[in-house]
Amino acid sequence: MKNWDKIEDALNELEDYIIDKAEDLKLAGWSYFPTAKAPESFRDLARSSRNGKIPVANYGCEKTIFKDAHTNVLSRFWHDVTHLEQGLGFSFYEELDVIQRQIDQARADGLSFTARVLLNFDMAGQVYYYDTHREFVKDQYQFVMYCMAYGLDAALEHKF
- Identify the three-state secondary structure at position 136: coil
Look at the pTM and tell me if it is higher than 0.85.
yes
Model pLDDT, residue 3: 75
**How far is residue 146's CA from residue 160's CA, in Å, rounded to a whole number?**
10
* 94 domain residue, yes or no: yes
Residue 154 CA to residue 25 CA, distance in Å, equals 35
**Residue 158 pLDDT:** 97
Report pLDDT for 2. Answer: 54
110 assigned to some structural domain: yes
Domains in the chain: how many in total?
1
Is 160 domain-assigned?
Answer: no
Tell me what pLDDT residue 64 has.
97
Listed residue (146, 131, 124) closest to 63, CA to CA: 146
Q: Which residues of the chain have pLDDT under 50?
A: 1
Task: Please report whether residue 33 resides in a domain.
Answer: yes
Domain carrying residue 127 = 4-155
Distance (Å, whole) CA 116 – CA 102:
10
pLDDT of amino acid 1? 45
For 62-107, write each residue's pLDDT tens digit.
999 999 999 999 999 999 999 999 999 999 999 999 999 999 999 9
Q: How many CA atoms within 13 Å lie on the side-chain side of 65?
A: 32
Backbone torsion region of residue 3, taken as left when φ is above 0, otherwise alpha when ψ lies between -120 and 50, otherwise beta: beta
Q: Distance (Å, rounded) from C-alpha 119 to C-alpha 76?
A: 12
The answer as to whether 100 is a domain residue is yes
118: in domain: yes
What letter would DSSP give residue 2?
A: -
